[in-house]
C-alpha cells in the first residue's frame, strides 16, 4: 500500500513540473503579445499625433498666409489712398529750388579747382520751328494740328545728332570743364588749389533755330557753376548761357552739320566758350574779403 502511494506521488511530481513550465511559457507568450500590442498601439498613437500636428501646422500656416495677404492688401490700399490724397493736396505749381550760397565765406577763399566731371542731360535738345509754332497755332486750328507727330520727328533728329556726336566724340562736358578752367585762370582771382572746388552742371545743350532764318540752326548751351568748400558747403552760384542770336556762332542746317561734323564741333566749342566765359566772369568778380592787421599794441589791448 505504501509503495503504491509512493509510486503515485512520484508520478504526480513530473506532471506538476510540466504543467508549471507550460504555464510559465504561456505567461511569457502572453506578456510578449501584450508588449507587442502596446508597442503597436504606441506607434499608431505617435503616427496619429504627428499626422494631427502636421494638419494643424498646415492649417495654421494657411490661415497665417491668408491673414498676411489680407493685411498686405489692406496696407497697399491704404497707402494708395493716402498717396492719392497727398497728390491732391500738392500744389499745382512746381516751386523752384533756391541755392543759398555763403558769399561771405566765398570772399575769404583764394584758391579752388575745377571738377572735370561735368553733369549734363547727356542728350541733345531739338525742336523744329514748326513744332514750336504748333503750340500757338493749335487753338486756331481747333486742335487739328496737334495730331501731327512733331514729337516723333523731333525725336528722330535728336537720335541722329546724338549718334553723330558720339561717333565724332563731340563731348560738350569736357569742353565745358576745360573752357571754364581757362577763363578762371585768365581772371587771376582764383589760384589753383584745394580750398574749394567748382562743380559745373549743364542744364541744356541744344540746336535752336535762328529767328532770322528759315532753316539755320545754332548750338546753344545753358550751365550753372557752383563753388563748394572742402566740407561740401555751397559758397557761390553763377550761370552762363548762349542763345541762337549769338553772331559768333556760325550755325548751319541739319544736313550741313550731318555732312560736316567738324562744323558742329566748332560751333559747340564757340557756344561753350561764350557760356563759360560769362559764368567765369561772375566767379572772378567775387570780392576778396579784406584782412586787417592790427598793431601789436592794439592786439595786446584786445
**Contact (Cβ atoms closer than 8 angstroms) between residue 278 and residue 241:** yes
Q: What is the pTM of this model?
A: 0.61
In a shared domain, residues 40 and 116: no
Check whether 100 has a pLDDT greater than 60: yes
Return mean pLDDT, the chain.
80
User: Is the pLDDT confidence value at 92 over 80?
Assistant: no
Q: What is the pLDDT of residues 163-185, one digit of tens each?
A: 999 999 999 999 999 999 999 99
- Does 190 reside within a domain? yes
Question: Of all residues in the chain, what percent carry a pLDDT higher than 70?
Answer: 71
Q: Which of 87, 121, 139 lies at the terminal end of a domain, its last residue?
A: 87
Q: How many domains does the chain contain in total?
A: 2
> Does 44 share its domain with 158?
no
The answer to whether residue 157 is domain-embedded is: yes
202 contacts 176 by C-beta, under 8 angstroms:
yes
Is 154 in the same domain as 57? no
Same domain, 82 and 108: no
**122-164 pLDDT, tens per residue?**
999 887 765 555 554 555 554 544 544 556 678 888 999 999 9
Q: Residue 85 has what pLDDT?
A: 59
Query: Do 251 and 140 lie in a common domain?
Result: yes
Q: Of 63, 87, 111, which one is at a domain's C-terminal end?
A: 87
Is residue 98 assigned to a domain?
A: no
Share of the chain above pLDDT 90, in %: 42
Is 163 found in the same domain as 63? no
Supply 223's cell numbers. 550751365
- Tell me if 114 sits within 8 A of 184, measured CB to CB: yes
Q: Tell me if 245 is assigned to some domain.
A: yes
Task: For residue range 191-201, list pLDDT tens digits in order.
Answer: 888 789 999 99
Residue 108 domain-assigned (yes or no): yes
Q: What confidence score (pLDDT) does residue 234 get?
A: 94
For 23-46, write each residue's pLDDT tens digit. Answer: 777 777 877 887 877 788 888 878
Higher pLDDT: 126 or 84? It is 126
262 and 137 in a single domain? The answer is: yes
Model confidence at 212, pLDDT cuts 50, 70, 90, reads confident
On whether residue 3 sits in a domain, the answer given is: no
pLDDT of residue 147: 41
The whole domain housing 64 covers 10-87
Question: Residue 87: its pLDDT value, please?
Answer: 62
Is residue 96 situated within a structural domain?
no
Are 71 and 119 contained in the same domain? no
Does residue 170 share a domain with residue 48?
no
> Do 215 and 141 fall within a single domain?
yes
CA–CA separation, 148 and 126 (whole Å) = 17
Amino acid at each position: 500500500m505504501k509503495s503504491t502511494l509512493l509510486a503515485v506521488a512520484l508520478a504526480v511530481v513530473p506532471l506538476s513540473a510540466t504543467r508549471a513550465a507550460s504555464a510559465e511559457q504561456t505567461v511569457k507568450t502572453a506578456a510578449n503579445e501584450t508588449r507587442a500590442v502596446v508597442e503597436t498601439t504606441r506607434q499608431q498613437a505617435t503616427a496619429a499625433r504627428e499626422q494631427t500636428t502636421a494638419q494643424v501646422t498646415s492649417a495654421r500656416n494657411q490661415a497665417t498666409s491668408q491673414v498676411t495677404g489680407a493685411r498686405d492688401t489692406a496696407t497697399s490700399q491704404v497707402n494708395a489712398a493716402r498717396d492719392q490724397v497727398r497728390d491732391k493736396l500738392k500744389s499745382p505749381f512746381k516751386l523752384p529750388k533756391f541755392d543759398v550760397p555763403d558769399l561771405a565765406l566765398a570772399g575769404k577763399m583764394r584758391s579752388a579747382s575745377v571738377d572735370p566731371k561735368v553733369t549734363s542731360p547727356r542728350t541733345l535738345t531739338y525742336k523744329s520751328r514748326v513744332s514750336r509754332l504748333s503750340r500757338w497755332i493749335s487753338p486756331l486750328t481747333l486742335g487739328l494740328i496737334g495730331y501731327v507727330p512733331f514729337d516723333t520727328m523731333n525725336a528722330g533728329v535728336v537720335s541722329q545728332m546724338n549718334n553723330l556726336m558720339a561717333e565724332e566724340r563731340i563731348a560738350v562736358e569736357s569742353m565745358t570743364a576745360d573752357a571754364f578752367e581757362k577763363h578762371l585762370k585768365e581772371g587771376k582771382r582764383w589760384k589753383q588749389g584745394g580750398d574749394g572746388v567748382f562743380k559745373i552742371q549743364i542744364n541744356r545743350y541744344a540746336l535752336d533755330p535762328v529767328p532770322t532764318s528759315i532753316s539755320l540752326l545754332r548750338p546753344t548751351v545753358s550751365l550753372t557753376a557752383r563753388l563748394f568748400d572742402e566740407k561740401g558747403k555751397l559758397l557761390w552760384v553763377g550761370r552762363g548761357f548762349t542763345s541762337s542770336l549769338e553772331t559768333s556762332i556760325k550755325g548751319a542746317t541739319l544736313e550741313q552739320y550731318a555732312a560736316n561734323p567738324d562744323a558742329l564741333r566748332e560751333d559747340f566749342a564757340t557756344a561753350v566758350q561764350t557760356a563759360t566765359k560769362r559764368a567765369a566772369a561772375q566767379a572772378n568778380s567775387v570780392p576778396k574779403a579784406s584782412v586787417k592787421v592790427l598793431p601789436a599794441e592794439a592786439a595786446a589791448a584786445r
